[in-house]
Chains A and B, each alone.
Chain A
Amino acid sequence: MNYVALKMLFGDRAKYLMLLCGLTFAVMLIVQQGAIFWGLMMWSQASISNLNVPIWITDPGIAQVDEVKPLADTAVDRVRSVDGVEWAVPLYKGLLRARLANGEYHQITLTGLESATLIGRPAEVLEGRFEDILQPDAVVMDQWAVERMGGPTVVTVGTIFELNDKLARVVAIAKTQKSFTNIPVVYTTYDRAVRYAPRERRTLSYVLAKSKDGAPVADVIQRIRTQTGLGAFTEEDFGWKTILWVLKNTGIGINFGTTILLGFIVGMAIAGQTFYLFTVENLRQFGALKAMGASTFTLARMILLQAFTVGLTGYGVGIGLATVFGYLTASGGGLPFAETWQLLLLVLVALLVICTFSALISIIKLARLEPAIVFR
C-alpha cells in the first residue's frame, strides 16, 4: 500500500506542488530567520573569534568581551608561570577616536597584539603585508573600517590619519568577521597601542594563552583561575558568555527572538495546514480504501509516508533556497547569516514533529471516518 500512497501523493501534480511549496516556504522562512539570528549572535562575539586563540584570561568579574576590565600588567607573567601554559601574550583592546585627513571622526576599536608573535592577527590579509605593522606608526585596518570610513578612496594602504592626536599609517587591510556594533577594527602592536591610548592606570585588557599539548585545556583553565585569581575561559565559552550577555541585556534577544518564534510558528502552521488540507481533500479516496477493507493502521501508515515524503522533500528544497538566499545576500559577510548544522537539525526535527502531528490529526479524522461517505 506504500506504493498506492506515493502514487496518490505524486499523482495530482498540481496538488503535490502546492503542498511542496507550502512546506518549502515554511522551511525556508525558518532556516532563513534562524540563520540571520545565529549570524547576529556570531557577530556579537566577533572580537573573540576574530583573534582565534584558545584561552582568554580576563578580569574575574568580566561580563562580555566588549566591556573591557583591564588587568594589572603582571598578569601576563603570572599566567606564564602556571603549569601547562605553553604561551601567554598581552592584548590591548579599547575604543579610540580616529581623525581622518578629511576631518571626519570615527570611533574605532584599537587592537594591540604582542609585537614578537603577532598572536591574534587576522588569518586573511586583503591588501599589503600584515608584518609591516612592525614599522613605525603602522596600523592594519579591517575591511569594515574601510567601508565605514568612506571606502577605498578614503582609506587604503598608505593612508595617514590621527589616532588620539598621534600619527597612524595604514600598511595593510585585513579580512575579519563583521562585528555586531560594526565598529571598525584597527590593529597595531601592543606597545604602540598603549601609547596611542589615553593614559590609564591599567592598560592590559586581556591575556591570550594556549595550553601545552597533552595538558587538558579544562585543567589548565582551572589552574589559571585558582593560581592567578583571574577569569579564564576557552574561546568558545567566552563567546557563549558574550552571546548570552547580548541576549539578556540588549533588545535583540526579545525582539529578534520573537520574530524568529513567529516565523517558526507561522512556518510550522503553514506546513501542518497544507498537509492537513491534502488529506482532507483525499478523504473520499481514503474512505474507499477503508470500505475495501484497509485498516486504520494501514491508512495511518500511508498518511505518515506521504507526510514524511513531502516533508523531507520540502525540507531539502527549502534549505536549498535558504542557502541560495544566504549566499546571495550575505556572501560578503555584510549581512548576518550563519546556517549551522545545529539549526538545520533543529528545523528537521521540528518539521518531522509537525508532519507527524498534522498526519496524526488526519489519521484521527480518518479513524472516525464513516466509509459510508463513498456511497454518496
Chain B
Amino acid sequence: MNDDTQPAAVRARGIVKSFGAGDTQVTVLKGIDLDIYLGELLLLVGESGGGKTTLLSAIAGILDIDDGDIGVLGVPLSALPPGKRTRFRGQTMGFIYQQFNLLPALTAAENVAVPLLIQKIRRPEALRRARAMLDRVGLGDRVDFLPKNLSGGQQQRVAIARALVNEPRLLICDEPTAALDGPNGQKIMELLREVGRSPDRCVIVVTHDSRIFHFGDRMANLTDGRITNIERIQQEGTV
C-alpha cells in the first residue's frame, strides 16, 4: 500500500525556513526531507515550537520557504505563481485546524459548502453536497446550526466535512483533536483514518496526543528542525 517504490503524494526535499532577521532570527526548519504516500495517514509529532505547523504550512503552499522543493501530486509548488498555487490548493487540499476556523456567521451546511462555492459551484448544489457530507460525519440533524450552537466535537466534525467536501487528495490536519475530549477525539480520528485508507488520498496529522497514535500508519518525528526518524506503526497496536 505505501511501499517506498510508489510515487509520493507529497515529496519535500531540503526545506529550510527561518523567521525574523539579524539577532532574533530563528531557523525553524533546517532541511526537511519527507515523503507522504497515497493511502496512508502520516502522524507528525515533535516538541512544541519545533516547527510542525510551519512544515504543514509549507506543504500546503501557504507559507513561502527559504530553500528546498515541495512537490504535491507531482506538481512543484514553488514553481507555481501565487494565483495558480491558490487554485491548486483549493482543488487538491483540505484543511483541519486546531481552532476549527469555521465562519461564525454561516450555518454548518453553509460552512461546509464554502470550498465548493470557492470552486464556483452553484449554491443549491453546493449546499446539497454539504448536507450529504455532514450526514456522513454524523451531523445530518445539525445542518442549519450556527457554529456557536454546536459542541467542540461537532464543530470539528463540521470542519472535517468542510475539508472533505471537495474530495481533496491531500488532507492536512493540525492538532485536530487538541480541543476535544477523548471520545470525540477518537471519533474524529476514525473519520480521518477512513479517508487516509482510500487509495488515492493521504492524510497528514500533527498531534501531541498519544491516545490517537494508533490511528496512524507511520509517524514522523520533528526535532530541532529536522525529521529525526520515521517509524511504521503496528496496526491497532502500540508504537
Report A's interface with B, CB cutoff 8 A: 1, 3-4, 7-8, 10-12, 284-285, 288-296, 298, 370-372, 374-376
Contacts and interface: CB of A to CB of B under 8 A. Distances in A.
| Most-contacted residue by chain A among B62, B88, B91, B95 (CB, 10 A) | B62
Interface stretch (B98-106, B133-141, B211-219, B231-239): B98-106
Interface stretch (B7-15, B40-48, B53-61): B53-61
Contacts of A291: 60, 62, 89, 95
Interface of B: 53-54, 56-57, 60, 62-64, 82-83, 86-91, 93, 95, 97-99, 101, 103-106, 110, 114-115, 117-119, 123, 162, 174
Given A294-B90, A294-B118, A7 B97 contact: no
Contacts of A290: 62, 86
Contact of A296 (B83, B104, B117): B83
Contacts of A293: 86-91, 93, 115, 118-119
Contacts of B123: 3
Contacts of A298: 118
Given A289-B114, A290-B86, A291-B62, A374 B105 contact: no
Nearest to B174: A375
Nearest to A294: B118
A372 B101 contact: no
B118 A1 contact: yes
B105 A12 contact: yes
For the complex of A and B, the 3 pairs showing the least CB-CB separation, nearest first, are: A293-B90, A11-B105, A372-B57
A298 B87 CA distance: 11
A292 B115 contact: yes
A98 to B, nearest CB: 68
A370 B63 contact: yes
A4 B86 contact: no
Contacts of A11: 103-106
A270 to B, nearest CB: 24
Does more than half of chain A's interface fall in helix, strand or loop, or is it mixed?
helix
A295 B86 contact: yes
A294 B60 CA distance: 14
Contacts of A370: 57, 62-64
Given A3-B117, A10-B105, A295 B89 contact: no
A337 to B, nearest CB: 40
A290 B85 CA distance: 11
Contacts of B82: 296
Contacts of B104: 11-12, 285
A372 B103 CA distance: 17
6 contacts: A8-B106, A289-B114, A295-B86, A372-B53, A375-B174, A376-B53
Contacts of B95: 291-292, 374
A292 B105 CA distance: 17
Given A285-B103, A372-B62, A375-B56, A292 B114 contact: yes
A160 B95 CA distance: 91
B117 A374 contact: no
Contact of B117 (A1, A10, A12): A1
A371 B62 contact: yes
Nearest to A3: B123
Contacts of A10: 105
Contacts of B88: 293
B86 A374 contact: no
A63 B232 CA distance: 96
Contacts of B105: 7-8, 10-12
A12 B104 CA distance: 8
B118 A375 contact: no
B90 to A, nearest CB: 2
Contacts of A7: 103, 105-106, 110
A1 B118 CA distance: 7
B216 to A, nearest CB: 20
B118 A288 contact: no
